[in-house]
Chain A
């Protein structure tokens, strides 16, 4: 079953159309990467799903129920981590989580146990330190704890790692992949290595539409690698080979890159290397990276 289904959603701010007939669905128990450039409409989409922004057209279902703008009942299934989570800084983290637990209707004992468990998971202490003194990273961790408090069916994270240092990023990604069993995670990002690290499915948002979507394997298989890179022992070898086999582009002192080559071409190259007694450090067919696909999608 799809936990989130977005059909034909459009949204414009003034004359600028941010979302233009947006369609996608997120199956349960997946980690869904929502990728797009800055300003592509990722945050707008998430805010519409949460009922914080009004859509111009289209339908959104969360757990099979319709999302409405303003007072929105489907929020009970959702945990949300905004890009810059803001809290009441006069409270301590435990006080804040207790309030959130009461709002979601959890039992007193359950709130206490879950809060302490989550604070431990995200690496915060349940002490008397007020949120006012928290760093950006600490706020992000508390944001994850509050989003997971009521064991939501859908966890929506808006660029959860973009403001963190490499260590903080790794920890946040580990937490997100560890909750996958109980929760479906949708997270937006423009950091592609994060996507490769934890996502099962991805969607590229471009010009208000999903330009490409599917599982990570499906996306990679769309365009098989057609580039071959050779690294030689010496510069002379590289030069000699480029004379024998035309079309190579020098990408380093001893490196040559050939584009649009088939498997047959690759075998020919190997034959040529053997016949001319040229040894290589490396001969590799390059798989397209997500970055290549991303750049291709946005037309650069």
Chain B
């Protein structure tokens, strides 16, 4: 446990002192504020554009803005936040290979699986904290301006996105145990996402891929029900844990 605590302390210190924690915090706050702000500014923006649009024969009637508009924006921005997160953390292991900093740690008798679990936990904590900040800010503003209760399955949709984030983080870790460059890790993670997405286009797999949990709009408007997502949740959980196991297996024999 001592080894693990020491290494996780180092991981947190690194994120804080390298400025990554600050970048993530700023981006998360910005996204949190942007969602309700975009919804709030939408009627005003369209009013400015209406004159130009009417010249082209398009007429804008009164725009109804509510919590749903803001939450739709939230789920539109989430892939961008997730991408920023993956790019920020794609070098969590590869930078250590390139600099050779793990050599001292491993030759001190540190168990390799502890290094991995510390890295995974660090990413999970930062993802959870960042996600909670974005969600909390958006939720607070939405409650102040409108009524969050009009949105269906909100927490469920939010959880789905969060879980998919965890899955992609576990993919980042597995890729980092196989590849040596952060660009390779980003590409690998992107490829995993693409496989899930394109597989989901086939009716037979539609409900059984992690990316099914990205259909938040359908959940919010009641087009799909939460129980339809259970299979995808189970599979995403399973894949996340599987990635963890695979990472430990690969990393145990990795030349560092």
Contact = CB atoms under 8 A, between A and B. Distances in A.
A150 B252 CA distance: 24
Interface of B: 2-3, 5-7, 9-10, 13-14, 17-18, 99-101, 103-113, 252-256
A57 interface: no
A167 interface: no
Contacts of B255: 52-54
B254 A70 contact: yes
A82 B112 contact: no
Interface stretch (A99-107, A203-211, A221-229, A283-291): A99-107
B104 A105 contact: no
A76 B6 contact: no
Given A69-B253, A105-B3, A86 B99 contact: yes
A88 interface: yes
A186 interface: no
A75 B102 CA distance: 14
Contact of A88 (B101, B103, B253, B254): B101
A85 B104 contact: yes
- Main secondary structure on chain A at its contact with chain B? loop
4 closest Cβ pairs, A-B complex: A102-B6, A90-B17, A76-B109, A80-B107
Contacts of B101: 86-88
Given A69-B253, A70-B112, A99-B10, A78 B17 contact: no
30 contacts: A50-B107, A52-B256, A54-B255, A70-B254, A71-B112, A75-B109, A79-B107, A80-B104, A80-B107, A84-B100, A86-B100, A86-B101, A88-B10, A88-B101, A90-B13, A90-B17, A90-B18, A91-B10, A98-B6, A100-B105, A102-B2, A102-B5, A103-B2, A103-B3, A103-B6, A103-B7, A103-B110, A104-B108, A104-B109, A105-B2
A285 to B, nearest CB: 46
Contacts of A84: 100
